[in-house]
Amino acid sequence: MRFPLVEVALPAWIDAVVSDPAAVYPDLDAQMAFAIELARRNVAAGTGGPFGAAIFDMHTGRLVAPGVNRVMAANCSVAHAEITAIMIAQKILGTWDLGGEGLAPLRLVTSTEPCAMCLGAVVWSGVRQLVCGARDADARRIGFDEGPKPAEWVAALESRGIAVIQDVQRQDAAAVLALYLDQGALYTTPGRRNGPVGRVP
């Protein structure tokens, strides 16, 4: 084929964080702490933006798939943490529909509320619940462009049978965003690339 194979790989350090592929995270706090740790590691290792996400079995708390922001590493503008977690979960489970018949209900836990693009991905993924740490406003405050999200996005998801829980460990999640800014944040939105927030037009 004359077109390249497109791959979005997780960073090498992920194996150290997920040493047990059958790990169980028993509650929302444990699951959010894991997503935040992914975001923190991504910043510390310089492997992507300050966003982590993971998909869990809602009944057992078993980790299905982790995800982190890989936009710059993969040269792929859609490689956000939520989307990488969704893609990996679908690959592991062998289905494009994470809410398909015979599957346990799945929860997407993300260190920051989804941007406009990831919001659409959540709708089509098949997950039954979305749990968020930092708010959209926290990401915008340090210079990220979250896109044209509808004001009533929570109600829109819930009308489709996707429950939403916000502000789980929000302070800890927002602290990772602040860490990214302190370390010389790079932005991948067109017009905002490669400069700390103070230099962005």
User: Catalytic residues, which ones?
Assistant: 82
DSSP alpha helices (H): ranges in 27-148?
Answer: 28-45, 71-74, 81-93, 116-125, 136-141
For the beta carbon of residue 40, count every other beta carbon within 10 angstroms: 19
Tell me how far apart the alpha carbons of residues 115 and 117 are, in angstroms, rounded to a whole number. 5
Residue whose pair of structure tokens reads 């792929």 in the numeric block: 76
109 close to 118: Cβ distance less than 8 angstroms: no
The tokens for 84 are: 């990488």
Identify residue 176 by its one-letter amino acid code.
V
Q: Which of 152, 123, 126, 146 is nearest to 134 (CA)?
A: 146
117 close to 78: Cβ distance less than 8 angstroms: yes
